[in-house]
């Protein structure tokens, strides 16, 4: 949304969310099925004090790439997902499901600790010696892998899932406790519309897909052009002569000179994650790859600057809307 339209968009979102909140605060006709206001749903969920305290600032800066400036980081995307969960529960409650958000699900700690704000800690293999010393090549599995929202009546889980997707896997009509029809695109799409009224609808099967040669649709929090260019720049980095030279130095340092492998595939041929991380540093591999990707991305940014900036403005508005939903 170029120019002043982005400001109008942000104001419109704020007004729309304020109206939704006011409407939700009206007394519920059936307290056994209604979930109440957004404030009630998010009242015990506080904004993290300093989520980036879990990261390594020096490593984050060292591995920073230009395209990261045009997308949302892991914490910001997580914030949007949590707001989507709240809006999903609102939608399910309106259909008569006794639904609630699982705040313990979708933890931020593992993402930021092991992958960093932009997933860069693992982009070139294990890049943190400290993490390699504690966890090797792997990461610990958390206890929060469940659904980010739940329904109280287990027998309604399948129907609630269909209402969420807006698609019946049995091919019939989706039965809701209230008897009301599921809104277009399901509660998942309705949650997206609560953060961006222009969010694209899913296909008939409830999923978003891309045609041949096309990017995935940009639903809240996502920037498909950035994701696509990040893939292109990584491939360009692999072909860079300086990276290839540094890769040979890494193999010699790690005792893997006879292998056709880089730090990203080290776990397939060695169990020594610490040595791999140390050698990625001392061989110059990390810096060479970042330099190669930075050079490639600077040209990409120049070519796609208007598109990248337009979507970033939309992302900022979506993030602001998400924070409003969460009461932050």
Could you give the 3-state DSSP secondary structure of residue 149?
strand
Block residue for tokens 């395209």: 67
118 by Cβ neighbours in 10 Å (0-12 / 13-18 / 19+) ranks as buried
pLDDT in tens, 150-170: 999 999 999 999 999 999 988
Q: Is the pLDDT higher at 227 or at 8?
A: 227
Name the residue range of residue 257's domain: 5-325
DSSP label of 103: T
Cβ-Cβ contacts under 8 Å for 193 (sequence gap 6 or more) = 199
Short-list 75, 97, 96, 95, CA closest to 152: 97
Euclidean distance between CA atoms 296 and 291, whole angstroms: 9
Find the mean pLDDT for residues 219-224: 98
66: pLDDT strictly greater than 70: yes
Is residue 41 very low, low, confident or very high in pLDDT (cuts 50, 70, 90)?
Answer: low
pTM, two decimal places: 0.85
pLDDT in tens, 106-153: 889 989 999 999 999 999 999 999 999 999 999 887 666 678 999 999
How many domains would you assign to the chain? 1
Q: Quote the crossing angle between the two packed helices 74-94 and 157-165, to the nearest 10°.
A: 110
């Amino acid at each position: 949304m170029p120019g002043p339209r982005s400001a109008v968009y942000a104001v419109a979102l704020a007004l729309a969310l304020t109206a939704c909140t006011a409407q939700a605060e009206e007394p519920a006709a059936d307290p056994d099925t209604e979930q109440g206001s957004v404030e009630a749903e998010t009242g015990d969920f506080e904004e993290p004090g300093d989520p980036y305290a879990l990261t390594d600032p020096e490593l984050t800066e060292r591995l920073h790439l230009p395209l990261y400036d045009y997308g949302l980081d892991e914490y910001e995307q997580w914030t949007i997902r949590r707001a989507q969960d709240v809006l999903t529960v609102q939608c399910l409650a309106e259909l008569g499901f006794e639904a609630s958000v699982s705040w313990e699900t979708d933890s931020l700690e593992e993402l930021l600790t092991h992958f960093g704000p932009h997933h860069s800690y693992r982009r070139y293999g294990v890049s943190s010696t400290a993490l390699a010393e504690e966890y090797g090549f792997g990461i610990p599995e958390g206890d929060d892998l469940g659904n980010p929202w739940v329904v109280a009546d287990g027998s309604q889980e399948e129907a609630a899932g269909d209402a969420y997707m807006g698609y019946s896997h049995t091919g019939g009509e989706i039965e809701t406790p209230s008897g009301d029809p599921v809104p277009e695109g399901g509660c998942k799409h309705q949650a997206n519309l609560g953060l961006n009224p222009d969010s694209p609808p899913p296909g008939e099967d409830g999923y978003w897909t891309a045609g041949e040669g096309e990017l995935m649709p940009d639903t809240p929090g996502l920037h498909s052009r950035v994701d696509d260019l990040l893939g292109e720049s990584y491939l360009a980095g692999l072909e860079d002569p300086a990276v290839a030279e540094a890769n040979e130095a890494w193999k010699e340092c790690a005792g893997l000179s006879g292998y056709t492998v880089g730090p990203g595939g080290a776990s397939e041929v060695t169990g020594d994650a610490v040595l791999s991380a140390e050698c990625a540093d001392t061989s110059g591999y990390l810096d060479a790859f970042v330099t190669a990707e930075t050079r490639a991305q600077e040209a990409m940014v120049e070519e796609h600057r208007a598109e990248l900036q337009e979507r970033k403005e939309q992302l900022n508005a979506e993030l602001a809307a998400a924070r409003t939903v969460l009461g932050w």
